[in-house]
Amino acid sequence: MHELRSRYTVFIVDDDLSIRDSLSLILSLKGFRTACFARAEDFLAVLQPDWMGCVVADLKMPGLSGLELQQALAQRQPLLPVVVITAHGDVASSRQAFKANAVDFLEKPFDDEQIVAAIDIAFRRLHDGEAAQAEQQRRAEAVAVLTAREREVMQLLGAGLQNREVAAQLGLSPRTVEVHKARILAKLGIRNVAELVRLVDMPA
Amino acid sequence: MGLRLSPAAPGTYWRLAGFVAAYLLLDWVSYIYPMAHFNITPWNPQPALAIAMLMFYGQRWLPVVVGTILAAEYLIRDTPAPWLVGILAAAVLSLCYGAIAHLLSRRYAVSPQLDSRADVLRLVGVSALGILVTGMLYVAALVAGGSGSLALFPKALLRFWIGDSVGILVFLPLILMLSHPGRRARLATLLARPEALAQGISIVAILLFVFGQTLAEQVKFFYLLFLPLVWISARAGLMGSAVAALLIQTGVIVAVHFTGQPPLTVFEFQTFLIALTIMGLFLGATVDEREQAERALRKSQKLAAAGQMAAALTHELSQPLTALANYARAGQLLVTAGEREQARLEETMQKLVAESRRTADVVRRLRDFLQHGAMRMEAADLAALTERIVADMQAPAAAAGIELRRRVVAAPPPVLADTLQLEIVLRNLLRNAIEATRDAAPGQRTVTLEIAPAADTIRLSCIDGGSGVRSDQLEQIFEPFETSKASGMGMGLAVSRAIVEAHQGRLWAESGPHGVFHLTLPAGEGEHA
């Protein structure tokens, strides 16, 4: 957990100076890296694609609200998790925040433990998301090194066809299909056809 | 009625003596144009007195009414009925008055202040029907006693009905309302207005005009009396219409006395007067009801202001409280870190103190508001108030490099307002304006507070040098918790608007190249406030 805290950043977006300052202080003492922004627009203006962390945003701010910031982030950096904080929570805005996949919706005044727990969950979610994305990336790169014929064979095997059926469809001998299959498994670093089926089913 | 007079209560006999004296006096004054054998007159206010007395003091005093009626019969009438018939008639009248009083205080209970049309409807209905029955029994008693012929029964009944109905409709609402302290106070305020004099003069003038005509023409012009009655009812409600009806009735009787009308014409006048009085009562009650509804609305607006204030303060409290908790936790962690975090610990503690001051500020404001929560309306001198506020705000304006000006287009008349609340609103508007102007170009760094009185409103405008409010945000900025400032939201425009609306005023923003907020307050005495 603490490894994640030092790897990611907490982006605090709140128009109240004291909230930004005190939150940043307590989080840094708990081992988080923080960055503060007074307005959602300021944050979006400097946000880089490689910034990884959790956004803690106030609901009501001059200019873009926390919910609007959440929508803008869903477009630009869908991986970035958002925790919404507010001094006047209402059911409608909390529902809207959760619908837009907020990690948590905290009403001020909140405990430091509550916000830390929410951020930890957010980091875990981000970490899992990143891992899934990396895995997908690796597979995509592996598929890219297959020959055209091998990709055809992979698609048909992945769809659940037997060697003989694949051979008939592609006009090859079952033996040749067997050779292609062995190469595909080696290149993708998988052991059997079951894994291959799962891979082909995976969304690109 | 609640109020019951017990024989043991102090002053009981004085009150009863007062009733007897007033009854005899009214009977004597109204003993005009008696119908032969029946002693029926076209104007009988004294039954109203008897009914009101029984309503207030209770049915146990019915014998007093019988005695008084008998006394009146033999003291005042020219040709009193024979003893037996007189006693029978007095008993019939007293019992009927008692029954009407009972119906009005129990079965169809009317509240003495007559604060709804339903009350007026019950009063008019029970009186009119009750008097009809009374008339039947009374005339029948006289006919049976041999005082009048049966052939005259319908005519006698009709005259009895008209004379007593008009007497009750004019007097009973007035007596009932005068028994109520709130209504008495209202009457005093109404009579103190210059308008009351003009209204009284208009009635007298029309009466003079009507009775200045030839006898035949008089009835034709009688309808003109509807005009002042409508005026008075619309402006002064039920209390006004009841007083006006009494004035018209008195005027008619005096005029009839001096012009020597034939009895039939007098009854025609009285019939007219019944219609006039009933219309006045219902119009007045309607006006009263509308005023009550307006008062209720104003009260709910005041509550809304308090609610908005509470919500805004909750919001403002939760901000420093969050920061306080964070700093305190940080302090704990820094303490365990020992020497090397000494400087940061001290800094954190300072911030903690600052946040608790901020919290205390909010609480102080809440206390001010609660102590002041019920609006205290007083005549406010807007010129002096704005001068003081603008002077107070000069320092923060100058610190931001902004010129703060006040422009008085014309001297404003005094307005009825809660000065403290108005000051909160104006300070809030000016603080917002200064914030908005903070980033303006050098030539435009001014904030102006303008005071412009108009015919029935006084407009205060706050014009800043900022970029103004976008036209699609004109209403949104008045939503609770909406803020365009980065720190400390002040009192919020939502609260300001609620306060201004509780003052019967309006607060709105105007879109344009610069920020403009207008606030209007009703000018004049503000008698409804």
Cβ pair B322:A60 closer than 8 A: no
* pLDDT surpassing 90 at residue B165: yes
Greatest alpha-carbon span in chain B: 121
Among candidates B226, B147, B235, B230, which has minimal Cα distance to B195? B235
Lowest mean pLDDT among A175-189, B70-84, B113-127, B490-504: B490-504
Which positions in chain B touch A16 (Cβ < 8 Å)? Answer: 319, 323, 487
Identity of the highest mean pLDDT range in B109-113, B136-140, B373-377:
B136-140
Q: What is the pLDDT of residue B177?
A: 93
Rounded percentage of chain B residues whose pLDDT exceeds 90: 40
Among candidates B409, B412, B392, which has minimal Cα distance to B450? B409
Which positions in chain B touch A117 (Cβ < 8 Å)? Answer: none
Q: Which ipTM score applies to this complex?
A: 0.73
* pLDDT surpassing 70 at residue B410: yes
Report d(CA B481, CA A58) in Å as an integer: 13
Residue owning tokens 């009973």 = B172
Torsion angle, alpha carbons of B323, B328, B329, B335, to 10:
140
The pair of three-digit structure tokens given for residue B95, joined into one six-digit string: 């019992």
Cβ pair A26:B486 closer than 8 A: no
Nearest to B334 among A21, A29, A88 (CB): A29
Contact B37, B148 (CB under 8 A): yes
Report d(CA B31, CA B40) in Å as an integer: 9
* pLDDT surpassing 50 at residue B373: yes
Mean pLDDT of B274-289: 93
- Identify the closest residue of chain A to B358 by CA–CA distance: A18
The pair of three-digit structure tokens given for residue A151, joined into one six-digit string: 């990709």
Which positions in chain B touch A107 (Cβ < 8 Å)? Answer: 318
Which positions in chain A touch B334 (Cβ < 8 Å)? Answer: 29
Dump pLDDT digits (tens) for A33-60. Answer: 999 999 999 999 999 998 999 999 998 8
Helix axes B153-178, B181-192, angle to 10 degrees: 90
Cβ pair A109:B325 closer than 8 A: yes
Mean pLDDT of B480-488: 44
Lowest mean pLDDT among B145-149, B243-247, B283-287, B392-396: B145-149
* pLDDT surpassing 60 at residue B528: no
Of the pLDDT bands very low, low, confident and very high (cuts 50, 70, 90), residue B6 is: confident
Q: What is the pLDDT of residue B84?
A: 85
Which positions in chain A touch B354 (Cβ < 8 Å)? Answer: 18
The residue ranking higher by pLDDT, B355 or A10, is A10
Cβ pair A62:B484 closer than 8 A: yes
User: How far A141 CA lies from chain B's nearest CA (Å)?
Assistant: 46
* pLDDT surpassing 70 at residue B514: yes
Residues near B272 by beta carbon (within 8 Å), at least 6 away in sequence:
B219, B222, B223
Which positions in chain B touch A65 (Cβ < 8 Å)? Answer: none
Of the pLDDT bands very low, low, confident and very high (cuts 50, 70, 90), residue B21 is: very high
Among candidates A73, A67, A71, A66, which has minimal Cα distance to A52? A73
Nearest to B322 among A25, A88, A109 (CB): A109
Residue owning tokens 């507070």 = B449
Query: DSSP letter at B504?
Result: T
Cβ pair A110:B314 closer than 8 A: no
Q: What is the pLDDT of residue B486?
A: 33
User: How far B351 CA lies from chain A's nearest CA (Å)?
Assistant: 8
Buried b (16+ CB within 10 A) or exposed e, A7-34: ebbbbbbbbbebbbbbbbbbbebbebeb
Cβ pair A112:B329 closer than 8 A: yes
User: How far B360 CA lies from chain A's nearest CA (Å)?
Assistant: 15
Contact B49, B30 (CB under 8 A): no
Q: How many inter-chain contacts (A to B, CB under 8 Å) are there?
A: 81
3-state secondary structure chain A: CHHHHHHCEEEEECCCHHHHHHHHHHHHHCCCEEEEECCHHHHHHHCCCCCCEEEEEECCCCCCCHHHHHHHHHHHCCCCCEEEEECCCCHHHHHHHHHCCCCEEEECCCCHHHHHHHHHHHHHHHHHHHHHHHHHHHHHHHHHCCCHHHHHHHHHHHCCCCHHHHHHHHCCCHHHHHHHHHHHHHHHCCCCHHHHHHHHHCCC
Q: What is the pLDDT of residue B529?
A: 37
Greatest alpha-carbon span in chain A: 74
Of the pLDDT bands very low, low, confident and very high (cuts 50, 70, 90), residue B292 is: confident
Nearest to B330 among A29, A109, A111 (CB): A29
Cβ pair A62:B486 closer than 8 A: yes
The residue ranking higher by pLDDT, A88 or B276, is B276
Chain B residues touching chain A at CB-CB below 8 Å: 311, 314-316, 318-327, 329-330, 333-334, 348, 351, 354-355, 358, 480-487
Which positions in chain A touch B321 (Cβ < 8 Å)? Answer: 108-109
> What is the overall mean pLDDT for chain B?
85
Dump pLDDT digits (tens) for B316-350. Answer: 788 889 999 999 999 999 998 888 888 999 999 99
Cβ pair A15:B487 closer than 8 A: yes
Mean pLDDT of B451-457: 87
Which positions in chain B touch A18 (Cβ < 8 Å)? Answer: 319-320, 323, 351, 354-355, 358
The residue ranking higher by pLDDT, B367 or B484, is B367
- Judge if the upstream peptide bond of residue A109 is cis by omega within 30 degrees of 0: yes
Mean pLDDT of B407-412: 90
Report d(CA A103, CA A120) in Å as an integer: 10
Report d(CA B230, CA B209) in Å as an integer: 18
Rounded percentage of chain B residues whose pLDDT exceeds 70: 91
Residue type, A14: D
Nearest to B319 among A16, A26, A38 (CB): A16
Report d(CA B281, CA B233) in Å as an integer: 8
Chain A residues touching chain B at CB-CB below 8 Å: 15-19, 21-23, 25-26, 29-30, 38-39, 60, 62, 87-88, 107-112
Query: DSSP letter at B31?
Result: -
Residue owning tokens 């009396």 = B225
**Sites in chain A below the pLDDT cut of 50:** 204
